[in-house]
Amino acid sequence: MKNELMSTPPWGKWLVLSDEEDFKVKRIDVLSGKRLSYQKHFRREEHWEVVRGTGKVTVDGKDFILKPGDCINIKKESLHRVENVGEDTLVIIEVQRGEYFGEDDIIRVEDDYGRK
């Protein structure tokens, strides 16, 4: 199932590496100076590990600076986002666990690109 889905949102791109019944794994590339929407999910939790670059991760209003080898767990319904605060592309491996992994399980509360 590797490389079965890719998307190129305005902040960079993501690629599905594995899509199983009980988990999904993505590679997320965030361009320098860009950030994802401030969002939450009702049906999944996420684990992010930074493999390249420097990111500022916000979870429920608290900021964390993550560098290669650092990781963070994001619980269901926690508001979260990541911003690339470095000069190089930020690369994160995301592991989703839960009951549903569809892109329609995203509630955006703030978005730099006008998405809802």
**Domain boundaries along the sequence of the chain:** 5-110
- Distance separating alpha carbons of residues 13 and 78, to the nearest angstrom: 22
Domain covering 5-110 in this structure, CATH number: 2.60.120.10
* pTM higher than 0.85: yes
> What pLDDT shows up at residue 20?
95
> What pLDDT shows up at residue 5?
84
Token pair belonging to 94: 């995301």
> What pLDDT shows up at residue 3?
41
| Burial label, 104 (beta-carbon count in 10 A; 0-12, 13-18, 19+) | exposed
Mean pLDDT for 7-11 is 94
